[in-house]
Structure 1
Amino acid sequence: MQITSKLPSVGTTIFTTMSQLALEHKAINLGQGFPDFNPDPALIEAVHQAMLDGLNQYQAMAGYLPLRNAIASKTQSRYGRRYDVETEITVTSGATEALMASFQAFVHPGDEVIVIEPFYDLYIPAIELAGGIPVAVPMTPPSEAVPYYRVDWDRVESAISSKTRMLVINFPHNPTCTILRAEDLDALEQIVEKHPLIILSDEVYEHLTFDQREHLSLATRPSLAERAVIVSSFGKTFHATGWKVGYCCAPAKLSAEIRKIHQYTVFTVPSPLQAGLATYMQEPATWESLPSFYQEKRDHLHQGLQHTRFKPMPSEGTFFLLASYDNISDLPELDFAKYLNQHYGVGAIPVSAFYLNPHSEQANHRLLRFCFAKQPSTLDQAIERLKKV
């Protein structure tokens, strides 16, 4: 039988490749972004109790109402915008489904979608499955003067054409670990004043910002929120990536279209997980404590790398940090990541993997992404191995 692939350029993801290499070489996996510790026992108990209480059947298609109420309250208290629980909040099967449903709902064949490069690997295949055309706008890479990636909004605006349907942003940014500043939101407001865009804002690391910096959600600016689908993730927030529960907030007209896709993709999300999360979220400290919790881990890895030949870069958010191997090797990023895995037993992700053309010179800045969402003992073992490089 002859099969024509809808995604002919998609193969094994870099995360699967590097994780498999880590297994083969018994490496410490600081590549793929997941914690190596359990969620809070109180959250697990809340889910268990929901099962015992009989919450094991379908919930409302848009999500368990007490959980939508908890999302609405949290969003209003943090960002000042109250989303309607009946028409503007949808609980999804992870942020992945929220993103995929948004692309399917709004991107038509031939539409252009602007993505900021480097970008999370889901975006391009999802755009292509919807028939859209991805348009990558590179961030300005780090320099000695400015040691972090940043967006050139003039370059973003110059990429907008009559075919542009959507702009995708992702902050706190994976993989570059940068966050939005007020001037970034100012620039976005100027763009949407002139161009009829939908903004898909991937904010899954909203609670992981450091050094007393606050995440500036698009929900904080009415002119942006009116155009935006804002996506978040309970898996990232509460150390439960395998549960695959996320949500999106959007104006009613946008939410109605997303729900059409959601209804025929998963219909609804596992009921006891939703109920357990709703109970757990009644205490705001469950998310308010996250920045200090993860900053301790970030600082642990950053300080440890200071005793190696790697040069750690500032991490303003997410549970990653970038490190340069500029004074260690001239190898391209993928080759060096494989070398590090095979010879020193530490798994990391090359930042070049987040570019349209990962083999190009423009994608290779001799940077690796390390995940610090690990137990202290895991980080210590990795640091000891990296000291030998």
Structure 2
Amino acid sequence: MSALAWIATASLAAWCFLLLGRGSYWRTDQRLPGYEEPARWPDVVIVVPARDEAGVLALSLPSLLRQDYPGRAGIVLVDDNSGDGTGDLARSLSARHGGLPLTVSAPGEPEPGWTGKLWALRHGIALAEEFDPEFLLLTDADIAHQPDSLRALVAAAGPAAGAGHRPRGGADSYDVVSLMARLRVAGGWERLVVPAFVYFFAQLYPFRRVNRPGSGTAAAAGGCVLVRTEAARRAGVPDSIRQALIDDVALARAVRREGGRLWLGLADRVTSVRPYPRLGDLWSMVSRSAYAQLRHSPVLLAGTVAGLLLVYVVPPAALVAGLLGGDPAAAWAGGAAWAVMAGTYGPMLRYYGEPLRMAPLLPLTAVLYLLMTLDSAVRHHRGAGAAWKGRVYVRPEAAPERR
């Protein structure tokens, strides 16, 4: 066999492992579990960090105000030093729509050692705890919820130990229930990039593994995270993760370290209303945290580049080169690997309502993500760090150990 055929065979072997040994990451069946309504609905406070969100708030905040929740619930929106009137707009929307009571507060600029979102969450959680809620729903300002979203999240989380009911099927209760919001897929670039974004996330953090008790895999989706207040206290959240750029995964890991149970799935009731019409918008969304995901490690970056090339680029390249160069072994292995790749991508495309003919384009999207990751690393080493809404976060020092 030629060198190309061996490389293509290695790529095929990698895809066989991903298909069979990576927690069935490609499946899209992790949805909110069924539930029976509890005899008593716990108190909940919804915390919404918001920085310059006037463009989307009119689409998202009314969906929170009109939540059909049988228990006591309220909303704390934290205006993170916005310059576009986000706080005033939130108040006017509350006056116009009514519904759940809304508190709007502004904590000022973050103290040193805090990222902006976590600083806002710290302030919002402190205000929420004045009401002593049993649950906190941490949701972004660009996330819209169906009217029964909060009810479904709380009921699926189940009771505290020794209380009430259990989610249908006899599962234990959860300390974190998180939904990967259905992102907007409207324009051409969104159709090419967004389903792959969720697919790659699931490949890194297979939902089934996250949901398995005692698993070493921990993750959450930051747009919609329901967390038990007591579990957050035990984990020291948000103080223990105050410098995290990927705050959702950091929160899940902190809760799991303290023995908490996690559940992560795809959303049916929760959607993102933020548009990403241009490639540059999507590029910024990915590149701002891609290198942080690799812990700012050149070694991990090199491994990631090599892995992406082997897994996503080699299959189509080997197929084409094998056919043109008369190397049937390379063509067969490359074609088989590409077919497995497209097959695993199909369920995510169906979830987003996209045609299966998009599946063979996944190598192209992977190359875009590779370039975004490299750009993230270059920005970091130039001192630009992770830029988001006028703030730049260079690599933070490790947070001190909790005692």
Instruction: Output the TM-score relative to the length of structure 1.
Output: 0.29
Q: Answer with 1 or 2: which has the greater Rg.
A: 2
Indicate the structure whose relative CO is greater, using CA pairs within 8 Å and at least 6 residues apart: 1
Larger fraction in helix: 2
Instruction: Output the TM-score relative to the length of structure 2.
Output: 0.28
